[in-house]
Structure formats: C-alpha cells, structure tokens
A = this chain, B = another copy of it.
Amino acid sequence: MSPLTDQIRALIAARQLAPGARLPPERTLAAELGVSRSRLRETMQQLISHGLIVSRRGGGNFVAPGSAERALEQAMQPLQPLAQAEGGYWQDVMEIRKSLEADAAYHAALRADDLDRQRLQAALAAVCAGASDPETQSRADAAFHMAIAEASHNLVLRQVISGLFDLMRVSIAESLSKLHLLPDTVEKLNHQHQAIAGAILAGRADDARQAATDHLCFVEDSLRRIETETARARRAGALRNKLPQGKQPA
C-alpha cells in the first residue's frame, strides 16, 4: 500500500487511538504529516474504503469500530485469489493446518474459559451426531475446529484458520462425502475429535496438540488416498503476465 497509509496507521497506533476515537482534522493532520490536504484525503479515502476509518461530514474522521479485525482481514486478503485459482492447493493448506491447529489445540487447552468449553462440547456433539448430508456435516466439522481456534484466545490464529477453512470450503464437502465411503473412517474421525476435545477440556495441552496432529495427518492421508484413486490431473502450469505497455484495444 502507499507509505502514507502506513504513516497514518502508525500514527493511530502510536497515539493509542481506540476504535471510535477522533483523528485530528484533515488540515491539521496534513500539516503534521507534511503533505497537502489533497494527498491526505486521497489516502484517507483508501482507509475509509477499507473500513478502517469512518468519516462524518462536519464532525470529523474516526477510527472505525472493529478496525483491528478489519486489519486482519485485510492482511489475509491475498488468500482469496488463491481460492479462485485452481483448486489444487488443499495439500498446501493441510500442511499449514497441521501446525496451526495443533498450536490452537495446545493453547486452547491452556486458555479455554467456561464459555469456550461449553461451545466446544456443543460443537463436538454436533460433529459426532453425524448429519446425513455432507454439507451440514462439513459445517459441523468447520465449527468444531473453529471452536478450538476461538478457545486459543489468539485473534490472529483464529483469523488465519478461518481463512484457511474459507479456502477449502469448496473441496471439503465433496471430499468428506468420499471420505465416508471408506470403511471405519467415520468412527475413526469421531474418536479423534473426541480425543482432541477431551484433552482440551482436561487442560492437557501436549495431549491436545498430539491429538490434533494425529487427526490432521489422518485426514491429509485419507484425502491423498482419495485423490490418487480419482486419479485427477494435477495443477496447470503457471501463467506469466506482464503489465500493460500503453496500447489500448478497441
């Protein structure tokens, strides 16, 4: 992004401006930053359109409520294009999930409060209930893992895991339906889920990490087995692209 936006964000952080706080008037702020109001305003429009700042005519510019979460979303934005381009990234995603969710389980075991435990138990019950349609089942599965991420009390971790699930949400449902065709997988998955939840609820952090790792390794392995069976073509080649060079098509 432009260096000025960073300067403004840094200023907000430096002055500890909480969401809802008012920024200096544009004329003043422009002077402080040593730029013209025109330039400051153009930059401000970016921050506004990204939801970090709200502007009230005649009132002032304010730090948007929930601007911190928006900042996280913003940072994870580059993940979206990957989701659209070729669905062959699930292996990359699984590789990361093994680490992150193991961490999440570990910290969840240490930090979960009563509300977290309550939600985790509910999610566990839902995922073990075993919905008939894959769509609902995949939602329950995602909810279970997100409950763990929530319980880790690490906002960034939660956001990243959420983004990864978003990245996989298309392939999860169909993979899950195939996964259920293999014998015993449902029972194994339920057992693994219970092991994870049990360790977290009992506060056994290392066990929770291990259980999560085992679970994801099992899922990854199963998915890999499915893909080799379906024997689909691998990802396509890279497409190079250069910026326009001044010619305009009709």
**Which positions in A face B, CB cutoff 8 Å?**
1-3, 5-7, 9-10, 12-13, 15-18, 20-22, 24, 38, 41-43, 45-46, 48-50, 54, 56, 59-60, 62-63, 65, 67-89, 92-93, 95-96, 99-100, 102-103, 107, 154-157, 159-160, 162-164, 166-167, 169-171, 238-239, 241, 243-249
Contact = CB atoms under 8 A, between A and B. Distances in A.
A249 B75 contact: no
A155 to B, nearest CB: 6
A124 B83 CA distance: 32
A81 B15 contact: no
Given A13-B87, A84-B6, A159 B79 contact: yes
A15 B247 CA distance: 12
Contacts of A171: 13
A85 B75 CA distance: 9
Contact of A84 (B13, B20, B81, B88): B13
Nearest to A158: B92
Contact of A243 (B9, B22, B164): B22
Contacts of A100: 96, 99-100
15 contacts: A3-B83, A7-B83, A21-B247, A21-B248, A42-B45, A56-B244, A59-B246, A69-B241, A72-B238, A73-B241, A75-B164, A75-B166, A79-B160, A95-B103, A95-B154
Contacts of A75: 85, 163-164, 166-167
A32 to B, nearest CB: 10
A167 to B, nearest CB: 5
A81 to B, nearest CB: 3
A48 to B, nearest CB: 8
Taken together, the copies of this chain in the complex come to 2
B67 A84 contact: yes
Contact of A157 (B7, B24, B95): B95
A177 to B, nearest CB: 14
A61 to B, nearest CB: 10
Contact of A68 (B79, B89, B103): B89
A156 B164 contact: yes
Contact of A20 (B7, B22, B42, B244): B244
A86 B243 contact: no
Nearest to A103: B99
Given A10-B84, A45-B45, A245 B22 contact: yes
